[in-house]
Structure 1
Amino acid sequence: MWFLAVMWISSLLIGTQAQNTATFSRGNDRNRRCQYTFTVDSPTEASCPATASSAEMEALKSRMGLLEALVSRLAGGEASGTEAQVGLRTAYNQVTGERDRLQQEKTRLTQQVGQLQKTMEELQREVERLRSRPCPQQPPQSVPLYDSSLQPGRGTSHSHPSSRPGRTETSSLRDPSWSYGSPAYQELKAEVAEFPAPRSEGTEDSKGCGELLWVGEPVTHRKADSIAGRYGVWMQDPEAVSPYGSNMLWRIDTVGTEVRQLYGYEDMDQLSRGFPAKVLLLPEAVESTGAAMYHGSLYYQRRRSRTLIRYELGSESIASRRDLPHAGFHGQFPYSWGGYTDIDFAVDENGLWVIYSTNKAKGAIVVSQLDPHNLEVKKSWETNIRKNTVANAFMICGRLYTVASYASPNTTVNYSFDTATSQSKAIAIPFQNQHRYNSMIDYNVAQRKLFAWDNYHMVSYDIRLGKQQ
């Protein structure tokens, strides 16, 4: 009872302090026991929380948090996807535009190719028309452009009147072909200033060595089959070695970046018919048209270098190689027609030679005699003939001869240099370029003829030599 009294007094006090917000009630519980209940308003809560348990509330809050996170993620993903779609659409538009531009460029280039093909066909028809027409004969020149008695360089044997005391020498009296002038002018001068070489009775010698007196008309033996044969070199070994006979002829087509095929023919008839008996693949690529055949070996310049190579035909391998000291190569000092003809081998009665130039010689032709086994230079001669002003050169009996033009149908053998006397002189022996683009001229000791490669065609020339003085 005391406890009930204390509880009643406390509820009154609390009710007073809580401004009459507390209540007291009494009732039976489920077990029919008397239960007293005091209710006091919370000063911090406006209403009672839900009847759910705290565990349920925590689970609900967790699920709500997960839902909020998922919604945020979906919203962000949608934004990123939109940005990605915009980027892809932009890239696609760029690629499409580039494709259209390339298609237009392709169409334009196709049209240009068609126009060029039409132009090429018209030019070919014009060329054929011009070839079918006879060339007009030019009247002889009444006044020569230079004096035939003038012999430039160390080989001058006759004095010009202008060199006598009391007279002043002028530049107009000097032969311009020995200066550093235009090659085109030198070709023109050589063409119009032709005069026959002396051909006295009893001076010709068909067997021994002597000075070149005459070059006959070209005889065509074969035309190359493809564009690779526009330029080339064909040759015969004057000292053939087994297993190849003395009638064997050799040919190299020199158009291409990797020229390595050497074709062999049993004789001139097989060459004319185009039936090679042997095809060799050279281990090093060939540069230009300067190769030569001598004593069972092919001598040639390795591509893009000053390296000389001796390729032995019997063993089909490189027997020796050597750099040609200070020689220009790959377009430094070519002949006037170009073709990387910086280094040119030659063979005559005196052996193996090489024709080239150096920076020290300033573009003038240098002639060196080589040891045919190890390619060592035995002796050299520096001429005063500018290499890029002549179309080609060859050796006969120790003399160097040059040809004025590679394209003119009627030109001349215009200069000679004698290695025995180190003297040079101007000459004018008529020479024909029948097919108007002569890329190779060499002396064939075996047949005593000149071999040449004239615009796809392999041709030869008969020659006459004077008696050895």
Structure 2
Amino acid sequence: MWSLAIVWISSLLVSTQAQGTASVWRGNDRSGRCQYSFTVASPTEASCPSVGSGPEMEALKSRLELLEVMVARLAGGEAPRAAAGTGLQEAYTQAIGEKAQLQREKDRLAQQVDELQQRVAELQKEAEKLRSRPCQQLPPPTVPQHDSSLRPGAGTALSHLVSRPGRTQGDTSSLRDPSWQYGSPGYQELKAEVAEVPAPRPEDTEDYTGCGELLFVGEPVTHRKADTIAGKYGVWMQDPEPVAPYGPGMVWRIDTIGSEVRQLFGYEDMEQLSRGFPTKVLLLPEAVESTGATMYRGSLYYQRRRSRTLIRYDLASESVAARRDLPHAGFHGQFPYSWGGYTDIDFAVDEEGLWVIYSTNKAKGAIVISQLDPHSLEVKRSWETNIRKTTVANAFMICGRLYTVASYTSPNTTVNYSFNTATSQSKAISVPFKNRHRYNSMIDYNPIQRKLFAWDNYHIVSYDVRLGKQQ
């Protein structure tokens, strides 16, 4: 009994001395016996370490977390790598296909180059043969008396054709030219020409002034050859009524091969064009369709690509001054000239103003001619001809008359039809015309120069013309 009291008093003393740091608890245990429990705060440890929280466990947890991150990355990146592999395979396949296509194109171009080189070699050989061939001088035979057309001074048609500068009337010495002798091949060719195109009488010829019918087209004169494939087809022009800041000698050129033809090259004169150094390069706001453009009164007139829209581009302001759709006109290969090239709409200029040559569904492919207001592009008047547009190689206007060319490849062809807008009458004619380079894609008339401008298989050429009255 005393021992229990002593323990209890000691506990009270201890609890009193360690107030705030120790506590005593008394209660029955599971068997019902009384138990005393003491709680004392550790003087060194803030908390007791939990079971399993030692350094080994912490290191193990870190390794497990790192392993989980690596597994997650591997599982999540498998699909992207597979997709990337598929994309690379597709890109590789596409690159192989494009390489094969480029190789085929290279082979085709190489074949064309070989063919052109062979053709050039053949032409050089032919030229050498012609240079080495001596000119045969034949004595003039006696002219049969029954053929009155061959007697000197017997007719005005032949005497006019053989006349030369400085020859006075009655001078028959020019008939002694060997190439004109009766019975020779040269004479037979001339006789056929005279039969096809009657020569104008001197009193009826207007001698290059004023208007008249087309009587003669001279030999083609080559001014320049294009440097690249873009110049196989094209159009070149001189403004017959130029406006400042450009003068009458200014020459303009458009190469028409390409998906976006927009460059207009300007040259100060024909000599600079021959040298190939433009002084002005303009970028047109709308792409050009084919070779039907023309120049008139300080503006470029052309057809907008893949449309029936006509555009007037002012050279001074370098901007579009007018645009208008050509009513019902076929475009982009519907009614082209026989050589193709999307030549459905063709501008032309002559002594009477600005024209456009085209066709419509209503006309069923026959050529329609419309005279345009050069400022607004409004149609002033139209004529429907009986000439099928797809059967002729090209067309141009002279003095209000439409003329068509039969072939664009034949070296010796003809201007085969004409249509007079004054009488609305058409007729077949046969004025000799030469395609020296055998692929004529553009023919236009310049009323001031009195020349035809043409683009013949990379070559910029011109022809003198003679106007007058037919017999």
Shift of 1:253: 2.3
**Residue of structure 1 equivalent to 2:205:** 204
Which has the larger Rg?
1
Residues 142-178 of structure 1: CA distance to partner in whole angstroms, max 9, x if unpaired? xxxxxxxxxxxxxxxxxxxxxxxxxxxxxxxxxxxxx
**2:260 aligned residue (258, 261, 269):** 258
Residue 241 (1) aligns with residue 243 (2): yes
The residue type paired with residue 465 of structure 2 is I
**Residue of structure 1 equivalent to 2:418:** 416
Shift of 1:465: 1.7
Distance 2:442 2:460 in 1: 10
The residue type paired with residue 360 of structure 1 is K
Distance 2:52 2:400 in 1: 113
Q: 1:115 to 1:400 in 2, by over 3 A?
A: closer
Residue 213 (1) aligns with residue 215 (2): yes
Identity between Structure 1 and Structure 2 (%): 66
Q: Which has the higher mean CA deviation after the structures are superposed, 390-399 or 100-109?
A: 100-109
**1:345 aligned residue (344, 347, 362):** 347
Q: 1:301 to 1:109 in 2, by over 3 A?
A: closer
Tell me the matched-pair count.
371
**1:432 aligned residue (424, 431, 434):** 434
**Residue of structure 1 equivalent to 2:120:** 128
**Residue of structure 1 equivalent to 2:368:** 366
Shift of 1:257: 3.2
Residues 371-430 of structure 1: CA distance to partner in whole angstroms, max 9, x if unpaired? 222222111100111111111100111110001111221111111111111111122221
Matches within 5 A, 1:24-63: none
The CA RMSD over aligned residues, in Å, is 4.2
TM-score (normalizing by structure 2): 0.66
Consecutive unaligned residues in structure 2, runs of 5 or more: 8-29, 32-49, 130-191
Shift of 1:312: 2.9
Contact 2:198/2:470 (8 A) holds in 1: no
The residue type paired with residue 117 of structure 2 is R
Q: Which has the higher mean CA deviation after the structures are superposed, 221-230 or 360-369?
A: 221-230
**Residue of structure 2 equivalent to 1:269:** 271
Shift of 1:254: 2.3
Q: SS in structure 2 opposite 1:204?
A: coil
Q: SS in structure 1 opposite 2:334?
A: coil
Contact 2:200/2:468 (8 A) holds in 1: no
Q: Which has the higher mean CA deviation after the structures are superposed, 248-257 or 344-353?
A: 248-257
Contact 1:196/1:430 (8 A) holds in 2: no
Distance 1:106 1:444 in 2: 46
The residue type paired with residue 280 of structure 1 is L
The residue type paired with residue 201 of structure 1 is R
Distance 1:89 1:277 in 2: 57
Matches within 5 A, 1:28-427: 94=86, 98=90, 101=93, 105=97, 108-109=100-101, 112=104, 115-116=107-108, 118-134=110-126, 196-202=196-202, 203-206=204-207, 207-427=209-429
Q: 1:468 to 1:351 in 2, by over 3 A?
A: farther
The residue type paired with residue 251 of structure 2 is L
The residue type paired with residue 132 of structure 1 is Q
**Residue of structure 1 equivalent to 2:176:** none
Q: 1:434 to 1:101 in 2, by over 3 A?
A: same
Distance 2:97 2:252 in 1: 47
Distance 2:82 2:283 in 1: 56
Distance 2:373 2:70 in 1: 86
Distance 1:294 1:103 in 2: 49
Q: SS in structure 1 opposite 2:215?
A: strand
Shift of 1:446: 0.6
Consecutive unaligned residues in structure 1, runs of 5 or more: 1-28, 33-39, 42-58, 137-192
Shift of 1:241: 2.9
**Residue of structure 2 equivalent to 1:467:** 469
Distance 2:92 2:63 in 1: 43
Residues 265-292 of structure 1: CA distance to partner in whole angstroms, max 9, x if unpaired? 3332232233434433433332222122
Contact 1:368/1:378 (8 A) holds in 2: yes
Q: 1:251 to 1:109 in 2, by over 3 A?
A: closer
Looking at both structures, which has the greater relative contact order when contacts are Cα pairs under 8 Å and sequence separation is at least 6? 1
